[in-house]
Chains A and B, each alone.
Chain A
Amino acid sequence: MTEWFQGVFGFGLGWFLATLSLILLIALPLMLAVAMIIYADRKIWAAMALRRGPNVVGPWGLLQSFADGLKVFLQETIIPSAANRGLFLIAPIITFTVALVAWAVIPFADGWVLADINVGLLYILAVSSLGVYGVIISGWASNSKYPFYSALRASAQMISYEVSIGFVLISVVLWAGTFNLSGIVLAQQGLYGFLNGFGFNPLLFPMAVVFLISSMAETARTPFDLTEAESELVAGYQTEYSSMSFALFWLGEYANVLLMCGLNAILFWGGWLPPVDWAPLYLVPGIIWFFIKIFVFFFIFSWVKATVPRYRYDQLMRLGWKIFLPISLLWVFLVSGFLMLTRYGGVL
């Protein structure tokens, strides 16, 4: 595609236009996917609670998210008089932008990636660590006590779980031998000759579980949604927000959830590869496999949200620091020791 654009518009302009259209090609379907995944989320909860869920707008309620979007778009943006105006408006923009920017390095299929950089995983880690700023800034700029509590909780929670996520990523990188996300996916091909995915490896499976739970904590989904615990903090950091500024938080949150589902699929379950290394399965396009995997993980997220009650804050911290951190640290030792013995030719 870049070559075609460069052929028509010349080198520099062609590259610029190609990149711009690729960004739109990722961001616009992503927004559509977020709208539909919110609908799916509500339908799944409804099914688990024996309710109907959204079923009025459009066939089977399919257009519910668009109706909601239109509603918030037409509402008035209210800025509290005591708020720090500039930061108050910047915060949702940061959340939303950061959630979109991370998708630049996600490989959707073989070679289908906007920026195939060799520090892809570190880029994801860097961008996801920025997500906390939207929450902190909104909590502080609202100048209201519940958003502020929520911001403090969010920053402590996200930092805690990023530590164990970091160690989980290190064990994956050690096994794959690269930080490039496409390289990590390709390294998972043909485990024991017929499986595709690090998650099928008994040594890495516990890390897949730790990563799944940590990614729920990182995106502040139930049971870890202490940041917007409605029984304690009204709506947490979003309390003072209305209209589009609220919608940006909402969209950013779901884009982040989708990103984490995609990361689970890429790091442990073979990304765009079919789960079994069997030639007929490769006839299905890679992007379909990737979307199926994302949806399976989203279903797990939704399932957990519908069934598991919220953690207490000290339990959350205990799980992060006293359970996940030692386990993931131990696993880094185990994985590197195992690789040293098997792949790199014994001790020294």
Chain B
Amino acid sequence: MIEAVAFYLFATLVIAAGALTVLVRNPVHSVLWLIVAFFNAAGLMVLVGAEFIAMLLVIVYVGAIAVLFLFVVMMLDIDFAALRAGFVRYLPLGALLALVLAAEMVFAIAAWTAGGIDLGARIAPTPAAKPNIEAVGALLYTHYLFVFEAAGLVLLVALIGAVVLTQRKRGGGRPQNAAKQIARRPEDAVRNIDAPVGEGIEL
């Protein structure tokens, strides 16, 4: 019984928070609702016995990605009137997207009722005593090793691409050299001079 209550609680909150993410006017509130949705999705993951994925969802999406979203959105100077002006122009595209998604959902539900895929059994590791992490690790580093490494390579390319795009030559920069600064002693920079009266000193 408690599982059903928990499921409907998390599921309702995911849907409600997702809807509010789209509907709320203030973009910062919108990101915060998105975080609530992530959280409840993590709760759903715990319910199907995928506690590792649940924790990863919180660490990666809530802890890192949503923070960066929030970071960017908070610094934006958003003109709400300009945002609303585009509504009619994007309406056909939005309607089309909604139609496609609805059609996909109908297909998915139809396929589900037709039977065949037992999702719940696939998510949970087969021997119940085996921790999630071991099950995922054993599969990821043996069966799917090359796919996994290819995914890593794609991320690496994206990383290098971002660095190349943002790094441009700027003249006149004086980057800090910490080792040089630490190696500098008072003797290198300071001279004690007994200046003769009326003559001054050469620098």
Which A residues have a C-beta under 8 Å from some C-beta of B?
Answer: 12, 87, 117-119, 122-123, 125-126, 129-130, 132-133, 136-137, 140, 148, 151-152, 155-156, 159, 162, 178-179, 314, 318
Q: Which of B51, B67, B71 is A117 in contact with, Cβ under 8 Å?
A: B51
Secondary structure of the B side of the interface? helix
Given contacts A118-B51, A119-B132, A179-B133, A126 and B63 within 8 Å (CB-CB)? yes
For residue B29, which residues in chain A have a CB less than 8 angstroms away from its CB?
Answer: 87
CB distance from B62 to the nearest CB of A (A): 7
For residue B70, which residues in chain A have a CB less than 8 angstroms away from its CB?
Answer: 136, 155
For residue A155, which residues in chain B have a CB less than 8 angstroms away from its CB?
Answer: 67, 70-71
For residue B71, which residues in chain A have a CB less than 8 angstroms away from its CB?
Answer: 136, 152, 155-156
Q: Which of B51, B59, B176 is A129 in contact with, Cβ under 8 Å?
A: B59
The 6 nearest A-B residue pairs measured at CB: A129-B63, A122-B55, A126-B58, A118-B131, A126-B59, A119-B55
Alpha-carbon gap, A126 to B63, bound state (A): 7
Is B124 part of the contact surface with A, judged by Cβ < 8 Å?
no
A140 touches B58 (CB 8 A): no
Alpha-carbon gap, A189 to B59, bound state (A): 30
For residue A179, which residues in chain B have a CB less than 8 angstroms away from its CB?
Answer: 131, 133
Q: Total contacts A to B, CB within 8 angstroms?
A: 67
For residue B58, which residues in chain A have a CB less than 8 angstroms away from its CB?
Answer: 126, 129-130
A129 touches B55 (CB 8 A): no
Alpha-carbon gap, A178 to B56, bound state (A): 16
Is B28 part of the contact surface with A, judged by Cβ < 8 Å?
yes
Is B52 part of the contact surface with A, judged by Cβ < 8 Å?
yes
Number of interface residues of B (CB under 8 A): 25
Residue of B nearest to A118 (CB): B131
For residue B67, which residues in chain A have a CB less than 8 angstroms away from its CB?
Answer: 129, 132-133, 136, 155, 159
Residue of B nearest to A173 (CB): B133
Give B19-65 interface residues, CB cut-off 8 Å to A: 28-29, 32, 35, 51-52, 55-56, 58-59, 62-64
For residue A129, which residues in chain B have a CB less than 8 angstroms away from its CB?
Answer: 58-59, 62-64, 67
CB distance from A221 to the nearest CB of B (A): 20
Is B150 part of the contact surface with A, judged by Cβ < 8 Å?
no
Alpha-carbon gap, A119 to B51, bound state (A): 7
Alpha-carbon gap, A314 to B62, bound state (A): 26
CB distance from B185 to the nearest CB of A (A): 20
Alpha-carbon gap, A118 to B55, bound state (A): 11
Between-chain CB contacts (< 8 Å), 25 pairs = A87-B29, A118-B51, A118-B131, A118-B132, A119-B131, A122-B59, A125-B59, A129-B58, A129-B62, A129-B64, A130-B62, A130-B63, A136-B67, A136-B71, A136-B74, A140-B28, A151-B74, A152-B74, A155-B67, A155-B71, A156-B71, A162-B64, A179-B131, A179-B133, A318-B178
Q: Which of A119, A137, A178 is B52 in contact with, Cβ under 8 Å?
A: A119
For residue B62, which residues in chain A have a CB less than 8 angstroms away from its CB?
Answer: 126, 129-130
Alpha-carbon gap, A102 to B156, bound state (A): 33
Alpha-carbon gap, A174 to B2, bound state (A): 36
A122 touches B52 (CB 8 A): yes
CB distance from A312 to the nearest CB of B (A): 10
For residue B55, which residues in chain A have a CB less than 8 angstroms away from its CB?
Answer: 119, 122-123, 125-126
CB distance from A88 to the nearest CB of B (A): 12
For residue A159, which residues in chain B have a CB less than 8 angstroms away from its CB?
Answer: 64, 67-68
For residue B68, which residues in chain A have a CB less than 8 angstroms away from its CB?
Answer: 159
